[in-house]
Structure 1
Amino acid sequence: MGIAKTVEPSRRAFTGVLAGALVVMAGPGAARPADAAGAQRIVVLDAGIAGYAFALEAPVVAADPRFPDARINRRTGFPPLWNRQAAARKAVALPAGADGVDLAAIRAAEPDLIIAGGRNPGGLASAGRAADLTAIAPTLVVPADLPGWREELAFVADLLGRTDKVPALIAAFEARAAQVAGKIALPEGETALLQANAGGIHEDPFAISPTSGLGRTLAGLGFRLFDAASRVQGGTLDADGRVPVPLAAVLEVFTAPNLIMVSNGPVSMGQLCCDPGFRQLEAVISYRRWELDESAIRPDYLAALRLLDMVESAFARKG
């Protein structure tokens, strides 16, 4: 089967989506919808994009379950973030395949639409496989550089013709955020944001900017954030709003009285605080440090809701 030409999506289904999206529609076979809004069997190759599709109640039949933190429900094969939604839809967790994309498993799901691209392992692996994927079903490749979960939610909703569901999802997040803000005890003074290096405590950690997705969420909850990222000489923010911090500069960069540390792979707060390079930090010495898991760094919609749960638990008001 050959690859059909790239086509312009309809304005009804894709208004505002074309910026950065590669839209590939494929060829012969059983009736395949020319409009993604009519798809009934969707395969999603990025775990974060799958979360949006499940939140939008799209008919997802199979999805790649891989997030960077590799957390998986062993019984179902789904990540905790959307385990319940995927199980309810009787979706299938796609295997990774030898090169990150299992074409046979995708074909077996009999999709009438494939969504590739995104910024998680499966999405990154699939972004360059449009030629193979479009031979199976019409394929849309989502860019990995959308600025935050609100933009990604709007993008995917537009893609699937489900923009009517976005206001309720946003309202649910805002209501939960207001609830959490009213229940937590905020630290006194500024709080720095640090992420460990997945390579270990002896590798350069990251300073997280207040302008990151995590920073914006915390600021919205009332946290006063210390801009540790701006203290790194010559530092440039990556797509997640982080800057590597040379180990020798840790004590000069993270000088705030409070510290939120985001885990990264196997590296936890406990390991970091036992290391001589970190345990001299004021926030560590005074036990004014808290930990969030890796999903907090650049959350999708479901991870943003989980972030609120984590903050509520970590900063619970006593008494």
Structure 2
Amino acid sequence: MSRLSLPHRTTRSLAAVTLASAMLALAGCGSGGGDADGQDSGSSAASETRTVSTPKGDVDVPADPKRVVVLNYALAGYLYDMDVPVTATIPEDADQEAGEFSEFWGDAPSEDGTEFLPWSPDGFDLEAILEADPDLIIAGGWGFPNFQADAAYDDLTAIAPTVMVDKSFADWQDQAEFLAVDVFDKQEAYDDMVSTYEARVEEVGDAIEVPAQPTSFLSVTGDGTPYLVFEGTGLPLMFDQLGFETNDLVAQHGLEPYQPGGDLAELSTEQLGQIVDSESLFVLGFNADTTSVEALSSEPAYGSLPAFQSDNAFDLPYWALRHDYDEALALLDMVEEEFGK
């Protein structure tokens, strides 16, 4: 066994919305400047918008936003890759006291002056979002932030135009295409991402020897609860492109997501032996590196699985589960190093 490694709404909701409305009213009262025709040539460009279709309906967004707030850590990397200024985002985990920028973002957060907003399991801090003075809010995507953004959507739209990224997008390409093409009008940036990724997939696919198939993916939480990753979602789809064959265990056993529209099925330890019969298995933590193949191998429920028995159980970093473009490239490097011929 081996490890792949790198070479509710807050209670202040009403107050925030009231304050937002007051600020908008004040802005309207102070907008009497301009030329003789009542037009301000300096603000006309800033007022240009495009219409984006979202799960919440059509949203008019700034054509050239300058202060974007991203309410899902997993989406921020796309904006950095597209040179869209990120004023603020939330930490990776709602339980984190202080956020940490991803190593894959490089110097972009410091160049943008990105700040972390307070975030808790109870919801977003709407007052903090308001103080960030966004001209656009990007929310939704995969995971718990989507649930919170959906609940707080009306409050968020009172602060700035809010685009919900569809939680049903299957992989990073879907998310990147929506953000780059629909929201920010950066088709070329998206095309560059895809061409770079596809070239690297072909390169890695030719360079590796795939272990015994089929393959499954398990995400294990800090309390030891295992979740089976749905076939046909981001991580399995990526490995399928490399020549792996994802076992269709969800379809075979009629498993349901632990949250509606989700990509994980909760399993009991008893179900592990009954369901997870794949020849190869990738294990990853949930929101942190909460486990490892080595640690699990001493537990009978895991040690008796075919993949563990045949030494075909492998670790993946927790962020692999819902990876973005930069993380996809890093994963490809890991796979090449682990399974290279």
| TM superposition score normalised by structure 1 | 0.79
Alignment partner of 1:186 is 2:189:
no
Equivalent in 175, 185, 190 of residue 199 of structure 2: 175
Larger helix proportion of the pair: 2
For 1:114 and 1:208, the matched residues in 2 are separated by 29
Work out whether residues 214 and 299 of structure 1, in 8 Å CA contact, stay in contact via their aligned partners in 2: yes
Of residues 212-221 and 258-267 in structure 1, the stretch that sits farther from structure 2 once superposed is 258-267
Residue 303 of structure 1 aligns to a residue whose secondary structure is helix
Work out whether residues 89 and 117 of structure 2, in 8 Å CA contact, stay in contact via their aligned partners in 1: yes
Q: CA deviation at 1:68?
A: 7.9
The equivalent residue for 2:126 is: 103
Q: CA deviation at 1:283?
A: 1.9
Residue 13 of structure 1 aligns to a residue whose secondary structure is strand
Work out whether residues 130 and 159 of structure 2, in 8 Å CA contact, stay in contact via their aligned partners in 1: yes
CA distance 1:178–1:138, change in 2 (3 Å): same
Q: Among the aligned pairs, what percent are the same residue? A: 28
Q: Which runs of 5+ in 2 are unaligned?
A: 1-19, 25-48
Work out whether residues 78 and 93 of structure 1, in 8 Å CA contact, stay in contact via their aligned partners in 2: no
CA distance 1:235–1:77, change in 2 (3 Å): closer
Q: Which amino acid aligns with 2:101?
A: F
Of residues 123-132 and 214-223 in structure 1, the stretch that sits farther from structure 2 once superposed is 123-132
Q: CA deviation at 1:290?
A: 0.8
Equivalent in 151, 154, 157 of residue 131 of structure 1: 154
Aligned residues: 294
Of residues 278-287 and 79-88 in structure 1, the stretch that sits farther from structure 2 once superposed is 79-88
Query: CA-to-partner distance for each residue in 1:25-44, whole Å, 9 max, x for gaps?
Result: xxxxxxxxx64222111111
Work out whether residues 320 and 327 of structure 2, in 8 Å CA contact, stay in contact via their aligned partners in 1: yes
Q: Which amino acid aligns with 1:245?
A: L
Work out whether residues 196 and 268 of structure 1, in 8 Å CA contact, stay in contact via their aligned partners in 2: no
For 2:157 and 2:278, the matched residues in 1 are separated by 51
Work out whether residues 75 and 141 of structure 2, in 8 Å CA contact, stay in contact via their aligned partners in 1: yes
The equivalent residue for 1:92 is: 115
Q: CA deviation at 1:276?
A: 0.9
CA distance 1:143–1:196, change in 2 (3 Å): closer
Equivalent in 152, 156, 163 of residue 175 of structure 2: 152
The equivalent residue for 1:18 is: 53
Alignment partner of 1:47 is 2:73:
yes
The equivalent residue for 1:228 is: 249
Q: Which amino acid aligns with 1:221?
A: L
Equivalent in 60, 64, 79 of residue 38 of structure 1: 64
Q: CA deviation at 1:52?
A: 1.6
Residue 144 of structure 1 aligns to a residue whose secondary structure is coil
For 2:159 and 2:271, the matched residues in 1 are separated by 51
Larger Rg over CA atoms = 2
Higher relative contact order (CA closer than 8 Å, sequence separation 6+): 2
Of residues 252-261 and 56-65 in structure 1, the stretch that sits farther from structure 2 once superposed is 252-261
For 1:91 and 1:133, the matched residues in 2 are separated by 19
Equivalent in 282, 287, 293 of residue 260 of structure 1: 282
Of residues 37-46 and 138-147 in structure 1, the stretch that sits farther from structure 2 once superposed is 138-147
For 1:96 and 1:69, the matched residues in 2 are separated by 8
For 1:104 and 1:69, the matched residues in 2 are separated by 19
Q: CA deviation at 1:19?
A: 4.6
Q: Which amino acid aligns with 2:71?
A: L
Alignment partner of 1:210 is 2:231:
yes
For 1:92 and 1:141, the matched residues in 2 are separated by 21
Q: Which runs of 5+ in 1 are unaligned?
A: 5-11, 25-33
